[in-house]
Amino acid sequence: MSLLQAVLMGLIQGLTEFLPVSSSGHLAIFRILFGVDTDTGMLFDVLLHVGTLAAICIVYYKDVWKLIVEGCCILRDVAVNVVLFFKNRTGGGQEPYRRIVNSSYRKFVMLLVVSTIPTGIIGIAGADAVEKSSEILLIPGICLIATAVLLVIADKTKDGGKLPKNVTYTNAFGIGIAQGIATLPGLSRSGTTITACLLSGFNRNFAVKYSFLMSIPAILGALVLELKDYSAAAVSGTEIVYYIIGMLISALVGYICIKTMLVIVRKKKFIGFAVYCLIVGAVSIGGYFYMA
């Protein structure tokens, strides 16, 4: 891999991971139309994902740290309650149990857990279908047009006021389903989940935060699956440097794109991305019938 390729892949990863244009859709279309093998090596793919994951953690570092702390406290209190349960049953005591969800951040943690469950199930169950659909130019085209429609809906949706304490677990589960479906090439993950959040009545800023933070388990899950199939290969010192450069660019561009998305959602300016997705989707569909 050359330095230019590493830089370009870092830019593509950082841009399309967070802007509502679907990275998987663009890669699928590019590969099919131009017959280009976009496989840059499993190690590089992993590093690119680490870069975008780092971008989320940097932008929302206070929230991420608080969620980790409260998540550990939830596990601690659950363990204590289990001990109390057996102690009360065997000793005849009546010691009170600890309340698990006793703060806004603990509710946030539980909401993210609930959202991750359907995402994981759909992602694993539909992995083969997603891979096959990436080889058919028609599917990314249709899904990009669907993304355009979702972005228009996001712009037209009235502002909601829901924060963690007001969000229901049913809302979280539905948004998790939306993220799972968005694994289809051409459906933007961020566009789909932010629209689902807004339709559920989320505050607009919180919708963006929730969308990006719920992607952390999804990205980590993807990393685990990639590393599971990764076998060590000889990589030169120069290539390692290029890989790290690509990762850093992915993180930097991803950071800028997350900040940009906050402004876009707040000002209801998805329409430009909607038009772009509509055009690319139409071109993709036209290319499918032309090549048929």
- Exposure string of 238-271, with b = 16+ CB inside 10 Å and e = fewer, is ebeebbeebbbbbbbbbbebbeebeebbeeeebe
Sort residue 232 into left (φ over 0), alpha (ψ -120 to 50) or beta.
beta
pTM of the model: 0.87
Neighbouring C-alpha atoms within 13 Å toward the C-beta of 4 = 0
Number of domains in the chain: 1
The per-residue pLDDT of the chain, averaged, comes to 86
pLDDT in tens, 233-256: 545 567 778 888 988 998 999 999
Residue-level pLDDT at 90: 84
Helices assigned H by DSSP within 92-214: 104-125, 127-133, 138-156, 169-181, 189-199, 204-213
Split the chain (292 residues) into runs of 10 and give each run's mean pLDDT: 77 82 74 58 69 91 95 96 89 85 94 96 87 84 94 91 94 96 90 95 93 89 70 61 87 91 86 93 88 75
Residue 186's domain comprises 3-291
Closest CA to 212 of 59, 21, 47: 59
Residue-level pLDDT at 137: 85
Residue 231 DSSP one-character state: -
How far apart, in whole angstroms, are the C-alpha atoms of residue 97 and residue 105? 20
pLDDT in tens, 65-78: 999 999 999 999 99
Residue-level pLDDT at 38: 47
How far apart, in whole angstroms, are the C-alpha atoms of residue 46 and residue 69? 26
β-bridge partners, 162: 202
Residue-level pLDDT at 231: 55
Rg (CA), the chain: 21
Contact predicate 14/190, CB 8 Å: no
